[in-house]
């Protein structure tokens, strides 16, 4: 383990660049969410934060702990995995609620539902 004063300059620069890049992407995502005009455009903006916003910040953390030798730095990758797996679930839930609302209220030019969404599976081979 090394103290902050002994942290090598090249690593400090790289960690800072990665952390700032990740934060900037997340910030841009938030600005986009405020600036875009309709719901379906707005849901795209936060994905900046959930994709490379998270990845850059996670890389910064991995690099910092790897170079300072405090611990092996791999378990941050789990953060990326969980964010990638859980975002679509929330997003689909929100988007389908919005689609339902817009279809019932007939606002905007939302496409009509296609086919039947619920599949009734037949029991056995009958």
Partner 1 sequence: MTALKRLVLPYPLLSLSLVVMWLLLQQSVGLGHILLGSVIAIGAGKAMQALQPEPPRVRNIGAILKLIALVVLDVLRSNIAVATITLSGRRHQPRPAFILMPLELTDHLGLAILSMIVTATPGSAWLEYSPTRNTVLIHVLDLVDEASWVGTVKHNYERLLMEIFQ
Among 115, 122, 124, 125, binds partner 1 (CB under 8 A): 115
Helix (H) or strand (E) holding 35: helix 9-35
Residues 13-52 that bind partner 1 (CB under 8 A): 25, 28-29, 31-32, 35-36, 38, 40-41, 43-45, 47-48, 50-52
CA angle 56, 61, 66 (to 5 degrees): 125
Cα–Cα distance measured from residue 16 to residue 19, given in angstroms and rounded to the nearest whole number: 5
Minimum distance of partner 1 from residue 14's CB (angstroms): 18
CA distance 23 to 70: 24
Determine which helix (DSSP H) or strand (DSSP E) holds 16, and give its type and residue range. helix 9-35
Binding site for partner 1 (CB under 8 A): 25, 28-29, 31-32, 35-36, 38, 40-41, 43-45, 47-48, 50-52, 71-72, 74-75, 77-78, 84-85, 87-88, 91-92, 95-96, 99, 110-111, 113-117, 119
């Amino acid at each position: 383990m090394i103290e902050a004063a002994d942290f090598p300059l090249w690593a400090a620069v790289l960690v800072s660049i990665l952390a700032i890049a990740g934060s900037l992407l997340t910030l841009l995502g938030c600005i986009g969410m405020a600036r875009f005009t309709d719901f379906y455009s707005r849901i795209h903006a936060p994905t900046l934060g959930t994709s490379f916003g998270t990845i850059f910040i996670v890389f910064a953390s991995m690099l910092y702990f790897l170079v300072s030798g405090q611990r092996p730095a791999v378990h941050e990758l789990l953060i990326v995995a969980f964010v990638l797996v859980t975002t679509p679930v929330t997003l689909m839930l929100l988007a389908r609620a919005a689609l339902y609302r817009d279809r019932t209220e007939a606002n905007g030019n939302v496409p009509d539902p296609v086919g039947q969404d619920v599949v009734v599976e037949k029991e056995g081979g009958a």
